């Protein structure tokens, strides 16, 4: 029995897959719990958050570009 310090990320399964991909570039996942939960290292939270945000941003399309 042991306990490890970490940050629990609760997300949907799509985000989970993105996280796994990101993890391949730079490992931060400490424990892969299940479809919607992962534990990540506490010191990498901010970095992951930003990486995830920019990744999600790629999927957002704005009307702005079309409007003159």
Partner 1 sequence: MPAPAAEALPGQHILLSFLATQSQISLTRLYSKPSACLALFRLLNALERQIIMNYLWLEGPVSSNTMDVWVTRDGRAPYEAAMRTLASLQVLPSPKPGSNMLQLSPSFKKNFRLALTGGGDHMSFGVPCEKDLAGGVNVEMLDRYAANCWESILHFMVSSGTDGRASRPTKGILYLLDRSGLMAGQGAPKITSEGFQFLLTSPHAQLWTLLLQYLSITNERNIDMVEVIQFLFMLSTMQLGQEYSTEVFTNTYHSVLEDLIDYGLVYKRNPNRIYPTRLATTLTSGSSATTSSSAVSSQAQTGASLSGNSTVATAGGGFIILETNYRLYAYTENPLQIAIINLFVSLRGRFSNLVTGSITRESVRKALDNGITADQIISYLVTHAHPQMHKNNPLIPITVQDQIRLWEQEKNRVQIAEGYLWKEFTASTDYNLVLEHARSTSSVVWENEQARMFFVTPEGHASCRDFVNQRMREGGGFA
Query: Which residues 6+ apart lie within 8 Å of 6 measured at CB?
Result: 30, 31, 39, 40, 41, 42
Task: Out of 20, 26, 27, 33, point to the residue binding partner 1 (CB under 8 A).
Answer: 33
What's the min distance (Å) between Cβ of 30 and partner 1? Answer: 8
Among 43, 64, 65, 66, binds partner 1 (CB under 8 A): 64
Distance CA 9, CA 22 (A): 14
Task: Give me 51's structure tokens.
Answer: 């990486």
Site string for partner 1, 3-32 (x = CB under 8 A): xxxxxxxxxx--x--------------xx-
């Amino acid at each position: 029995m042991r306990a490890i310090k970490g940050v629990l990320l609760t997300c949907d399964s799509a985000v989970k897959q993105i996280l796994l991909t990101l993890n391949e570039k730079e490992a931060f996942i400490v424990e892969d719990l299940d479809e919607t939960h992962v534990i990540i290292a506490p010191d990498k939270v901010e970095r992951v958050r930003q990486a995830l945000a920019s990744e999600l941003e790629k999927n957002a399309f704005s009307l702005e570009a079309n409007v003159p």
